[in-house]
Amino acid sequence: MEMGAGRPPRLELCGITKRFPGVVANDSVDLTVRPGEIHALLGENGAGKSTLVKILYGVLRPDAGEIRFEGRPVVIRSPHDARRLGIGMVFQHFTLFEALDVAENIALGLEWWPGRRELARRLAQLAERYGLELDLARTVHDLSAGERQRIEILRCLLQEPKLLVLDEPTSVLTPQEADRLFVTLRRLAAEGRSILYISHRLEEVVELCHRATVLRAGRVVATVDPRAETPASLARLMVGDDVREPERRHPDLEAAPVRLRAHALSLPPDRPHAVALEEISLELRAGEILGIAGVAGNGQRELVEALAGERLLPQAGMLELMGEPVGRLGPAARRRLGLAVLPEERLGHAAVGAMDLVDNTLLTAWPQPGMVRHGTIRRRQVAALAATVVERFRVRTPGLEVPAAALSGGNLQRFVVGREIAQKPKVLVVDQPTWGVDAGAAAAIHRALVALAEEGAAVLLVSQDLDEILRFCDRVAVLYRGRLSAPMPVGEVTLERLGLLMGGAGFGTVRAETVS
């Protein structure tokens, strides 16, 4: 190939094998990354990508196989070893301390301490270069997923790595930010650095990467040039059969009844650094899928909590469900009126990791008739519903009595989405339903959402994935600093216009701070 000819590869993995009780996570994996190459690592959740990456970063040790770095065999015993070799890592699951602030978290990942002022200076430089803005004094606890990822990326770039491993880096960026990141990555590659790029967004891989290695069930099934492939062909390699995404035909919504109406919905923040919701108005009609786009941390979480009833609104009339004011009703009462909500965080919010699938079904199904009688749980009925969800949404699980935390991300997401849809909601609010799930699960979730809307339910899809919004939504509105733009039909909106709105253009000047 054209890159790095004559020089030894930056990284060679030869016959890497790693077994866990019951599974072979990596089965004789061979992988070569050349200097200056952007190399994609593809595979469904559970295909063995994370294991391979952890081996590369010294978190796990292979049972067999050899790692060569710049032509020499090396043993990577710890992340410290990996960093000394020049391997930088942005993990998919953030490795941050919630109680510490941004600067402290970045300092913890460094091998040296440049001093807070010097660090701030260098970070500011990097932030400008790569468009990753961050307030160093904020506590990680209060940051959104997107902002947390920016810390990880910056932390890595500070170390000027020879090989940079990125796990789903763009999932929380605006298209403009992602484009800027691609420019950065290309620049890094042009400097001779290598990049191992893990993403579920196959469009990105086709656009950005020079080569791609595809894993399925722990084995390498193909190494291809993605520039000669299509997203669909890559997806086929990953899952082994066709990933069927649904078609969305925009229905005529003029006559459809309004199912959910927010009327100047405002809610002050309930903790430091939370976003205040300011006069959000929207109408969601039966049969419609309305997309809420926006960069992470602009009030998505607050909006979803307010709609769910996790936080009550100051006035009942700020939110109407099926024509009734519900702003002062709790989650259960709203569910009984036909609302279902699925928050972004799967474990600890949408599901309880330590509880089995039957209990996790009960978690949101209990207000439905038949689940509870005189205060006692009718476990058989709940289990029947759980079994329906598992079967209908093809949740891969050894049984219903398995703790939710034991399911892979994609399977758990199938389960929680299925749990909500199986309750036949009249209004469904979902936040980031396909974040970090494999292509197969994402397609299944999209099919379910589209089918639900076709049956006449109203769907509110909060997502940072603009492809997802533009493909499946009828209208889209942008959330920026707690304010919502007017909804636009997706047919009349461009990616560029959305990106500008997501960056705050078009929201007018930021109003002067009110009384503090």
Partner 1 sequence: MSGWVVERRPQPSRLWRWAAPPVALLATLAAGLVLFALLGHDPGAALTAYFITPVASLYGLGELGVKATPLVLIATGLALGFRAGVWNIGAEGQLIMGAIGAGLVALASWGLEGSWIFPTMLLAGTAFGILWALVPAELRVRLGVNEILVSLMLVYVADLLLKALVFGPLKDPEGFGFPQSRLFEEPALAPVILAGTRLHVGALFALLAVALAWWFTARTLQGFAWRVEGLAPRAARYAGFAEGRIVRYAFILSGGLAGLAGALEVAGPIGQLLPSVSPGYGFTAIIVAFLGRLHPLGVLLAGLVVALSYIGGENAQIEVGLPEAVTGVFQGLLLFFLLAAEFLVHYRIRRRERPPAPASSPNTAR
Interaction site with partner 1 (CB under 8 A):
20-21, 61, 69-70, 72-77, 81, 84-86, 160, 308-310, 330-333, 335, 341, 343, 345, 347-355, 359, 362-364, 366-367, 372, 375-377, 403, 406
Residue 26: DSSP 8-state: E
Question: Which positions ≥6 away from 2 have C-beta within 8 Å?
Answer: none
For partner 1, the closer of residues 112 and 491 by Cβ is 112
Between 283 and 310, name the residue whose CB sits nearer to partner 1: 310
We find the least distance from the C-beta atom of residue 191 to partner 1, in angstroms, to be 13
Least distance CB 160 / partner 1 (angstroms): 6
Question: Which is closer to partner 1, CB of 27 or CB of 420?
Answer: 420
* Residue 472: CB minimum distance to partner 1, A: 24
The DSSP call for residue 457 is -
Q: How far is CA 141 from CA 12, 100, 116, 274, 394, in A?
A: 38, 8, 20, 10, 34
Which 8-state DSSP code applies to residue 491?
A: G
* CA atoms of 319 and 327, how far apart (whole Å): 5
Q: Which two tokens stand for residue 174?
A: 């605006």
Q: Min. distance of Cβ 267 from partner 1 in angstroms?
A: 15
Whether 193 and 163 have beta carbons less than 8 Å apart is answered as: yes
Compare residues 160 and 203 and give the one whose CB is closer to partner 1: 160
User: Least distance (Å) from partner 1 to the CB of residue 214?
Assistant: 26
Q: Which is nearer to partner 1, 62 or 297 (CB)?
A: 62
In angstroms, what is the minimal distance from the CB of 419 to partner 1? 12
For residue 113, the minimal CB distance to partner 1 (Å) is: 16
Looking at beta carbons only, is 170 or 360 nearer to partner 1?
A: 360
Residue 10 contacts by C-beta under 8 Å, 6 or more apart in sequence?
Answer: 4, 33, 34, 35, 37, 69, 70, 162, 163, 194
* Complex with partner 1: residue 85 or 119, whichever CB lies closer: 85
In DSSP notation, 117-168 reads HHHHHHHHHHHHHHT----TTSBGGG--HHHHHHHHHHHHHHT--SEEEEES
Q: Which two tokens stand for residue 293?
A: 């786009």
